[in-house]
Structure 1
């Protein structure tokens, strides 16, 4: 949002200062007129070549000191209600936008976030505040809308396996001829559905933790994190015939180790899960300038450009197949990146698949030596040989 700057000479402070200065100045003129004009008729007499002090006589159209004092007191008394009335009017005129802000803020609630102030002109500190609040209300409305959609989608995702589990158990218990083999099969399917629910709850917890923000910062090497994640992902990739290509160099950053590990895990899982048999996944870590970067590139189905951004929203899938995941992996990646103020770029590859890069802020790298990345690279080279 572009912050509107008050026009020169038209700010609220300048306008109030000008008005009150003018009011005091006019009031001073009135008081001086009341005091000085009658004095203009008072005559003074001084004998020629006399050293005697000046004497004031009461001749002419002037007034005496007593009448002058009374007139000044009356003028000051009259000035009090006049100045109060003028100040009341002016304050009310300039504080009208503040009343509009207060009334709108009272009218807004969680179910009524579409109201806006729309203060308009003139542009001063209060209208600038109104524009900022309008922007805040818009972001709050978007946040509440996204939250409602998230709750609805989460409820739907949780209800589906629960309904399947209940149906499975009802069928097994309602079969009078069910034997041990039938019950064992039902139990195995129930365990599968339970595992699906467990993974969904774990993903929801990871997403909520990521959106909460970074609560601690430690030095983290992205290459080391990748090495740790791949120890439990190599078998899954091998079962699907996915070739893993690694180019890992130290990429040191500062952040929450658990959140960064969650980001790397979901990047790799997404690349392996949304791939095709015989496909490939390339993982690169490097330090680019002052930033530590991780890039995961995978083959797979073609992703339309207009659908790319949608994949980073919760519960969004290209395929309706629930076995392809819950649609939370890339949403977690995006949430972790935002929590670390990292830059995330995603590109749909023309031949299919995605290329996703996350740039973290870099920290000074510790002394080089025997690094786990070197062991991982050597191990990968031996496996390729």
Structure 2
């Protein structure tokens, strides 16, 4: 009869570290078994206790005391640690040297890296789904209320770039928490036409647009930048003095339709006037596109003159049917509808729509509106900032994550088979 002998293989792991802390250890050791992380912590503890208390029975300022269990939920799972504590004979303080050295979170069981897992999911998922996802990813529990509290306390802000030629601005309404009415989420994006890159200039909640302009002007010289927005009077007034203001064509058509509806215009007339306006705007857009291909200045100048005449006819037609609200609106914004065309003649590219802002709001809507939630000021701002920054500035979001988990120190490890 043959017998099978069981063999055991021993793996040695060598770890070198400098100024490491718990979050840095957990984050950098991702993929290692948590048992190895525990052994690493105990190894540091043994060295520190020996350094403080000396050899067994040696008399020093510090005395070995007792052990205390500490349970920590981390992104690599739950660490249950039986930590040695020492007593300071001079002060009477009792503490864990390794917890102090590795900056264990005081009074917390859930470590910041677990919260960060939830925060990374936050732009797209409700709190309930986030905690479920975190548990599946890290095998650590975090409650909705804990995640909510940590979102309220986030310290995150945009780092606006002044190297932009165009500023796109808009706002949207979000339900308030525990009260009637709405928050207004304000957003301003910068666009560098040479690099064809967007950046986050400002995101705020219930801010005055005059104050938003002041914040943007700290980085951007608006005398050299065009502003693209909808017809909101407050926004238009706030950005007077910019190099130019372009009214979004899509918003203009929608607002005209609203004006005619409010004045009880017949449905067929509304459709006809909307179709005519869209046709004239589309013709101007195509002319500008052709200009960027062949730079035929005279043709574009003629098209701009034609556009003004066509809008004057549109206004006369609306006034002829006593729809003054729609007529006055087009008369007021006519020049701002063709800013992008006149800018092209000067060699400046300006979008005729602020669709990029609308696209960012659409992503935000999935999180802030469609889940049926209501929001506090801080919660709405922090969730939105996380979303906008992660989409528009990945480098800044990485920096935020590193600061959030207080990652410090370096860790190098190698695995080898003895005798191999």
Shorter-chain-normalised TM-score: which range?
Answer: under 0.3
Q: TM-score, normalised by structure 1?
A: 0.22
Between 1 and 2, higher relative CO (CA 8 Å, sep ≥ 6) is seen in: 2
Greater strand proportion: 2
**Radius of gyration: which is bigger?**
1
Q: TM-score, normalised by structure 2?
A: 0.21
Greater helix proportion: 1
